[in-house]
Structure 1
Amino acid sequence: MDMRAAVLTAFGSPLTVREVADPVAGEGGVVVEVLATCVLPYTAEIFSGARQYPLEPPVVPGVGGVGRVVGIGSDATTVRVGDLVWCDPLVRSRDEALTPDITLQGWSSRGEGGARLARHWHDGPFAELMRVPAENVYRLPEDIGVDPARWAALGVHLVPYGGLLAGELAAGEALLVSGATGNFGSSAVAVGLAMGAGRVIAPGRNLAALKLLADRFGPRVRTVELTGDADYDRAAMLETAGGPVDIAIDLLPPQAPATAVRAAAMTVRESGRVVLMGGVGMLGGSDLELPYPWLMRNSITVRGQWMQPRTANIGMIRLIAAGALDLAAEHLTTFGLDEIDAAIAHAAAHGGPFDRTVLTPVAL
C-alpha cells in the first residue's frame, strides 16, 4: 500500500506531497501513524539550504512527533500496536556504547557515521506513517488522546531539558537563559521553572516577548532588555539577577553575535556552569573566546550539549503529566499535510515564546 508524505526533492525546492510506499517495521523498528509534529521556526532555512544541514534529499523531513503504533518488529518486547507514543528523533548507533554515531531522523546528522545511520533511518514525520527504532518510542498517558497536538511540543522542550540536565540544574538555583525570547529559549525558561529553578533571568531585545514571559511566570522570572553593548548588558543581567547566577544556558540562533553569548556566560558565579546549545558560529563569524584567566580562577565549567540523553524523554513526559510543565498555555496553529508550505511559512513568522506550528498528517 501507499501513504501520503511531504517530500523534499532538492534544497531550494518546495516540498511535494505525494504517495510513497508504506514503511515496514522490520527487525528493531516500529511503524507509527503520525498524529502531530512541530514545524520549527527555522525549517525554511534548512529546506532552502541556508543552514547547510547534512540532510540528503529526496527525504521525508521533520523532527520527532506524536503517533499511534500500527506495526512492530518481532524483537519489540514492551510497545504494543495501538499505543500512543512520542517518537524521539535522536537515533544512536547500536554498535558503539561510548561514542555512538548520531542522527536526527529526517533532519540532521553528525559526521560520516551519522550520515550512514541517517540513510537507514532516513525519513521523518511529515508523512502519514513513519518507521522509527523501537528504542525511540515512549508511551504517553492515554488521557492525552483528545489533544495529542499539544504534546508535539516535546520536540522543543526536550532540547533545553537536555541542556539543563547536563548543567545539573538544582532546585532553588538561579538560571540565566541566553536567547530567552526565542522558541527554544522561552522553553528553557518554562522547563527550568518546572525543574525547580528559584529564579530565571531572561534577557532579550523583544519587549513583547519579555512581557509575555513576565506575565506568564510572575516574579520567579526577571527580564532584562538588552542593548547590544556587551559590557552594559552583562552588568544589567547581573544587577537584575539580584544575587549569584548558578548556571547559564545559551540557545541563541546562528545569526546572533558571539559577544552576546559571552556576555551571558560571564554572569555565572565562581564554580558556576555554562551550557552551550545554540547555533552561534555555525554559519561563520567570530568564535566565543572566553577569557582563560576568568575560566581558571573562577573554576568555571563550560559544557557543550547537543540534544538530550534517552532518559530525558521519560523525565520530560513525567514533568508534563504531573502538571509541572503546562502545555495548555501554549498557542497552537495546526495544518494538514496538504498545507505543508503554509505551515513552514507560518512557523517562520511565529517563532516567539510558546507559539507552536503543528503539522497533523493524520486527521485528529
Structure 2
Amino acid sequence: MAQSALVIGGTRFIGRHTVEELLENGYHVTIFNRGNHENPFADRDGVAHIEGDRREDTDLRAAALSARPDIVIDCVAYYPEDVEVAVDLFADVDGYVYISSGDAYGAEEIPKLEDRTAMRSCTEEQAVDESGETYGPRKAEGDRIVQQAGDEGVNAMSVRPCIVYGPYDYTERMDYWLDRVDTSDRVVVPGDGQNLWHRAYVKNVASALRVVAEEGEPGEFYNVGDRRAVTLEEMLELVADAMDTDIDVVPAAENELAAAGLEPDDFVLYREYPHLLDTCKLASLGWEPTAPEEAMARTVEEHRFSDRDGSEYDPGRENEEAVLDVLDTL
C-alpha cells in the first residue's frame, strides 16, 4: 500500500516540486491550502486536494483526519504558533518536516553548520509580526519548537534552504538575471562578481524534504543548498551555457555604480558577506542533489515558456548602460 503524504501548501513553487517528488517516489499526496492559486495537480491521479486555512485549527485538524498521513511537509508555516500547532497535531506521524530558512542563522560564519552556528533570537513581538524583517527570527523560533518536539518524542524535523531557484519561481529573483543574459551581450554585476550567496535548486529542496521525512532524526535541522555553490559570475556563466550564448560579465565597483546612481544592493541576489550552508549532514542521509549545470538548464527552459522577467528587480538598463560608459572610459 502506498504511503500517504500531506503537503501543507503544495501548488506554487517549493510545494509544487515537493508534490512531484513524492509522486515520483510512490506516495499518495493530499494538498491542503486555501485554494487561492491554480492547482497544477487538479487532474492528476494520486493527488487529493482539501481546501482550508492552516491557521484555522479546525481546518487543519479536518485535513489531518481526512488524509491520515504517514508524513507531513509543511511549506507555509510562517509563524511559531503555526509550528506549535502542527507538532502537536502531527505528533504521531512517521515524519513532520518544517521548512525553515538559512535566514534562521544569527551569526555570519563560513560555512553555517546546523549544530554550531547560532540561531537568531525571536521576541514575542517578532513572533507575530508579518514584516520581512522578522522572517528569520520567526523561522528560528519555529526551529526551536521542532527541536523541543523532537526531545519529547515527536518525529519532527526542520529543513533550512538558502535562496531557492528553479521552474515556477514566482519570486522572479532568478528571472531578472535570466532575462538579462537572454537579452544583453554585456551584463553588469556589482563588485568583482565573486560574491557568494548559496542557492538551492528547487528540486534539490524537494528531494531533501522527502529524504528528511523518511530518514531524518527527530528534533534535528538540515541545511539544503546546491552541493556546489557558485559565485554570481559563475551563475551567469551557467545561465549563458544553458542558453547557448556568450556574454561579457562586467564587474562594477561601488564608485562606478554610483556614477549611474546605483548601489550594489540594487542588484538582486547580491550579498556582500558570503552566505554558505554546509550540506554534509543532509548528504549523510542519502540525499543526492542535481548538478548545477542540469539545474540551470531546466530553470532556463521553463523561464523561456513563462511570462516572468524579474522586472521588479531591474535597476534600469539605462543605468547599466551609464555604468558601462563609465567603465569603457577607464
TM-score of the superposition, structure 1-length normalised?
0.34
In terms of fraction of residues, the more helix-rich structure is: 2
In terms of fraction of residues, the more strand-rich structure is: 1
